Amino acid sequence: MLSSALVVAADAAFAVKSGPVLAVWKGPFGWSGDVDYHGVVTYALEIENTGASIAQDVYMTDVLPANVTFGGWLAQNEARDGVRQRERRIPFRGDAYRRLR
């Protein structure tokens, strides 16, 4: 009795994604020049991920300087549940997705 076996072999290569690359940017928004005495300054704060992977569990904090008071949010992004003003600290904990290419 003859028997035959068919063997199929295949190779596959996978590249492991490079890690996330994070940068934080902060600056006055829609305003240029010096601040008026007891004036209002609007800050824009951005965490950017230029890497290839999602940066999960990112922790960001911004401590307000002594000579200002928090005036309110203009944009909390979609992380509003994770962003709170607490003891003059503005903390955020969440994920920063990779830049779409």
Q: Which residues would be at the binding site for other proteins (CB under 8 A)?
A: 19-29, 33-51, 55, 57-79, 83, 90, 92, 94-100
How many Cα atoms sit within 13 Å of 83 on the Cβ side? 16
Residue with tokens 């003059």: 88
Q: How far is the CB of 13 from other proteins (least distance, A)?
A: 23
Work out the angle at residue 50's Cα, subtended by the Cα atoms of residues 54 and 62, and round it to the nearest 5 degrees.
80
Q: How far is the CB of 7 from other proteins (least distance, A)?
A: 41
Q: How far is the CB of 52 from other proteins (least distance, A)?
A: 11
